[in-house]
């Protein structure tokens, strides 16, 4: 597991530094909308860091300790202060109502218990805070779904726990949030097994600084 963790960190850093205009645009519409006291879960080596507004107060929780040094170097290069803690998304090391916004991109596919993670996200959000997410999900093509369900158990031990066949949209909608906005997109030039993604936000209550100027409604699809 030690070796796999190091390999995954190196691969994540390589991916984080690649220029992918389509994925960058989706990150801008999720991480880029978070303001105030912000928590990112599963930041890896920092693919989202360039998209945060410069005045955010950013904390991150990462389960893979091998990612941290690379993450910190990237943050330093961007002159973005951040607090890093090693931990699991199912048990966030922060008190309740600590954050204006929580961000997760391509993370909920790999956590052990989605329900526990979403409960923790809800717990650490202040009333009116927003959970911004970008996740690849179960395909709407029956043939692709069959492949996802066959391949996932085989690749999961070597893919940082990633499951290709999760219905994450349904999990978020039933996560106890006051309101949820979800949009679908297709990522070009990737395997059909990971091409379908969802992005959006879930609100824990009334209007709050965790949502950037202009408010959460309507969801900006530009």
Using alpha carbons only, what angle is made at residue 23 by residues 75 and 166, rounded to the nearest 5 degrees?
Answer: 105
**Structure confidence at residue 206 (pLDDT):** 55
Position 80 pLDDT exceeds 80? yes
**Structure confidence at residue 101 (pLDDT):** 98
Per the model's pLDDT, the better-predicted residue between 185 and 158 turns out to be 185
* pLDDT one-digit tens code per residue, 111-170: 989 999 999 999 999 999 999 999 989 888 888 888 888 888 777 776 667 888 889 999
- Residue 46 to residue 134: CA distance in whole angstroms: 15
Q: How confident is the model at residue 215 (pLDDT cuts 50, 70, 90)?
A: very low
Using alpha carbons only, what angle is made at residue 109 by residues 105 and 111, rounded to the nearest 5 degrees?
Answer: 100
User: Which CATH architecture is the domain 2-203 placed in?
Assistant: 3-Layer(aba) Sandwich (3.40)
Mean pLDDT of the 2-7 span:
40
């Amino acid at each position: 597991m030690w070796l796999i963790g190091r390999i995954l960190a190196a691969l994540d850093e390589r991916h984080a530094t690649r220029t992918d205009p389509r994925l960058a645009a989706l990150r801008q519409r999720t991480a880029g909308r978070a303001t105030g006291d912000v928590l990112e879960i599963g930041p890896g080596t920092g693919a989202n860091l360039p998209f945060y507004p410069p005045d955010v107060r950013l904390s991150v929780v990462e389960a893979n300790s091998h990612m941290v040094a690379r993450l910190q170097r990237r943050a330093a290069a961007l002159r973005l202060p951040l607090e890093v803690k090693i931990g699991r998304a199912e048990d966030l090391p922060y008190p309740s109502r600590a954050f204006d916004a929580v961000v997760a991109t391509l993370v909920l596919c790999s956590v052990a218990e989605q329900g526990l993670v979403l409960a923790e996200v809800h717990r650490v959000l202040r009333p009116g805070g927003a959970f911004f997410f970008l996740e690849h999900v179960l395909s709407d093509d029956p043939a692709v779904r069959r492949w996802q369900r066959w391949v996932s158990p085989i690749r999961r031990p070597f893919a940082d726990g990633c499951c290709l066949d999760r219905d994450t949209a349904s999990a978020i909608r039933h996560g106890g949030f006051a309101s949820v906005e979800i949009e679908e997109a297709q990522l070009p030039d990737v395997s059909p097994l990971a091409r379908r993604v969802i992005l959006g936000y879930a609100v824990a209550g009334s209007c709050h600084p965790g949502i950037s100027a202009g408010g959460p409604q309507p969801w900006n699809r530009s």
